[in-house]
């Protein structure tokens, strides 16, 4: 699992594990290394609440695709038509905890 810069494709950080290790597990280790000022893009395979909360806690800005079954709560529409939403944990430990 690697964190790459979009323009140059330079690898900024990486986590290596056995073949049997799921990408989502490796991504949790990598997410703890994000820093404020980074804009981190991820596809919908990495949109779980636990990983999102961990990544958001680093202060990095997150722009992630989400699974179609996620029901974000609309907060604000931006000038370009995109919008900010609140993500709510609906299962697992922590119950209805909110995170943006």
Quick: pLDDT tens for 5-49. Answer: 988 999 999 999 999 998 889 999 999 999 999 999 998 888 778
User: What is the total residue count of the chain?
Assistant: 100
Q: For the chain, what is the mean pLDDT?
A: 85
Q: What are the angstrom distances between the C-alpha of 35 and each of 39, 58, 90? A: 9, 6, 27
Partners of residue 85 on adjacent β-strands: 74
Taking 70 as the threshold, does the pLDDT of residue 93 lie above it?
no
User: pLDDT at position 43, please?
Assistant: 86
User: pLDDT at position 40, please?
Assistant: 93
pLDDT band at 80 (very low <50, low <70, confident <90, very high): very high
User: pLDDT at position 78, please?
Assistant: 94
User: pLDDT at position 94, please?
Assistant: 52
């Amino acid at each position: 699992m690697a964190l790459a810069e979009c323009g140059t494709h330079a690898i900024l950080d990486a986590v290596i594990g056995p073949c049997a290790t799921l990408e989502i597990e490796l991504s949790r280790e990598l997410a703890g290394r994000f820093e404020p000022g980074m804009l981190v893009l991820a596809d919908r395979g990495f949109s779980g609440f636990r990983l999102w909360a961990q990544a958001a806690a680093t202060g990095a800005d997150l722009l992630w695709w989400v699974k179609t079954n996620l029901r974000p709560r609309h907060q604000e529409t931006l000038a370009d038509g995109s919008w900010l939403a609140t993500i709510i944990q609906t299962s697992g430990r922590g119950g209805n905890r909110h995170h943006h």
